[in-house]
Amino acid sequence: MTDAASDRVPRLKAGKHALFLDIDGTLLEHADHPDAVSVDVELLELLTALDECLGGALAFISGRSIAAIDRLFAPLRLCAAGLYGLEHRLHRDGPVVEAKEPEDIAALATEMEAEFGSTPGVYFERKGPVLAIHTRAAPDALSAVRKAAETALPRLSIEYRIVVGEAGLELIPPQAIKSAAIRRFLALEPFAGRRPVFIGDDTSDESGFEMVNQMGGVSIRVRPKAVTAARHILADVAAVKAWLRTEVLEGPADDG
């Protein structure tokens, strides 16, 4: 956590702020398997109210595909950047720009599945250009998985990076970065001209925190376990929901 990080998260003004939300670890608790999570009616109602309160300036910024996001949050189809911005839906209920799986990352995924797919607790998630290898249920396997991924990187046609998080690792192409996804929304109505607010919980969210800070926005990391660029912290998923409900939806707000 940075020295400047604070437990006191400022209030937001409807019409003045644009809200960007990570999903896993921020709105939903992590699970060993990405499909083992669910969205309850209370969260759907909260997101619907937030979208209305902010005049549509609300977007998911997630490593999940937009198809997976829509399955989770059905029937809501909010603005969203999936696969760290490789996919996007720029308007609520609008069309989705999808990303396909390149041949070289498909071959690498097949190879690594053959090596680690039978290891208990290791789960592969092939998300188009992004390959996620989940080891939350098999933490002892992470070192070997990481070594194999690093060995395979030079064979890819572009310079992928490996992002290691609490749940495993992901192989991500260079153009997939959350800061760019947020910036894309901020160029469009109703996001344009508003102060950005980004809430996330993992390493992949740090680029978003840095960009939001540069723009004078509000950066919030959930339960940080390492140094973070975020300037505010929230303790857990429950604290995120409570803050969204009480500080965004209710009562008078200051400029924060």
State the catalytic residue, choosing from 7, 22, 24, 254.
22
pLDDT in tens, 3-50: 445 556 767 776 789 999 999 999 999 877 777 889 999 999 999 999
pLDDT in tens, 157-212: 889 999 998 789 999 999 999 999 999 999 999 999 999 999 999 888 999 999 99
Q: Which residues pair with 24 in a beta bridge?
A: 28
Contacts of 147 (CB under 8 A, 6+ apart): none
Write down the pLDDT at residue 7: 58
DSSP secondary structure letter of residue 196: E
Residue 255, Cβ density class (10 Å: 0-12 exposed, 13-18 middle, ≥19 buried): exposed
- The overall average pLDDT reported for the chain is 90
Instruction: Quote the CA–CA distance of 80 and 243 in Å, as a whole number.
Output: 21
**Fold classification of 103-172 (topology level):** Alpha-Beta Plaits (3.30.70)
- Residue for token digits 């911005």? 85
Coil/strand/helix, residue 228: coil
Positions of CATH 3.30.70 in the chain: 103-172
Query: Checking DSSP bridges between strand 232-234 and strand 123-127, what pairing results, if any?
Result: unpaired
Write down the pLDDT at residue 133: 95
Write down the pLDDT at residue 10: 67
Coil/strand/helix, residue 107: helix
Given a cut of 80, whether residue 102 has pLDDT beyond it is yes
Write down the pLDDT at residue 6: 52
Helix and strand tally (H, E) in the chain? 7, 11
* Homologous superfamily of 17-98+178-240: HAD superfamily/HAD-like (3.40.50.1000)
Catalytic residue status for 140: no
Given a cut of 50, whether residue 256 has pLDDT beyond it is no
Q: pTM for the whole thing? A: 0.88
Amino acid found at 126: R
Positions of CATH 3.40.50.1000 in the chain: 17-98+178-240
